[in-house]
Amino acid sequence: MEKQIAVAIDGPVGAGKSTVAKLIAKKLGIIYVDTGAMYRTVGLYAVRHGISTKDGEKLKEVLDDINLDVEIIDGVQNIFLNGENVSSLIRTPEISMAASNVSAIPEVRTKLVDIQRNLAKSKSVIMDGRDIGTVVLPNADTKIYLTATPEERANRRYKELINRGNNVTYKEVYDDLILRDTQDSTREASPLKAADDAITLDTTGMSLEEVVEASIKLINKEEN
């Protein structure tokens, strides 16, 4: 794309934000920034060091010890924690919940939002998360709020985890999803919600290709 643009995709867990955003980035030739992976990385650090992911005071004490770097390698975002590429280690249900917990801590959000905003200053980007359109990129050119029924989101998440070799049940995934929905939407720091000027796209019953196509149409419409 010739013009520098910023696209924000928000929505609850299991809505397909990351998968959709990656495909849009590839089709439009812009950079995909996975903000959720950053919170997962902070969660991983806490778990590794025996720190409760709900202990805001303790996490504030160690924030300066968490050196988080983002590198785009072959068009794909890779997350480095203190020099270690942890991109493949942050996708477990345990780290998923850890991410939800640490994301409720204002100081953690401040640290990561600064990183995210800096990434968008010089390049065309598409970011997905919980508060991209409301907090991180409030002036994004296009804001899309992706959602689907809890049952469909849980089923998608379940299939994804099983394909990765995780030993989980659908009920565990569903219960975890409902808990995360509640945590993400009720937290004090940047709760999950659609931006006032976001376009809501309910993907229930839609194929991945249909969601990507619909999203690109919305982006092109906003740009013209």
Q: What is the pLDDT of residue 2?
A: 63
User: What pLDDT, on the 0 to 100 scale, is given for residue 223?
Assistant: 65
Burial of 207 from C-beta contacts in 10 A (0-12 / 13-18 / 19+):
exposed
Poorest-confidence range of 41-50, 75-84, 135-144, 166-175?
A: 75-84
Residue 91's nearest CA partner among 45, 44, 55, 25 is: 44
Domains detected in the chain: 6-223 (3.40.50.300)
- Give the pLDDT score at 222: 73
Global pTM exceeds 0.85: no
**pLDDT of 192 above 80:** yes
The residues, any chain, with a CB within 8 Å of residue 107's CB and separated by 6 or more, are 56, 59, 60, 63
Per-residue pLDDT of 176-190, as tens digits, reads 999 999 988 998 878
* Average pLDDT estimate for 1-16: 87
Look at 113-122, 128-137, 138-147 and tell me which has the smallest mean pLDDT. 113-122
Residue 48: predicted pLDDT = 97
- What are 47-70's pLDDT values in tens digits? 999 999 999 999 999 999 999 888
Structure confidence at residue 84 (pLDDT): 98
Which tens digit of pLDDT belongs to each residue from 204-220? 999 999 999 999 999 99
Percent of the chain past pLDDT 70, that is, above it, reads 98
Q: Indicate the average pLDDT of the chain.
A: 91
Q: Say yes or no to pLDDT of 1 above 70.
A: no
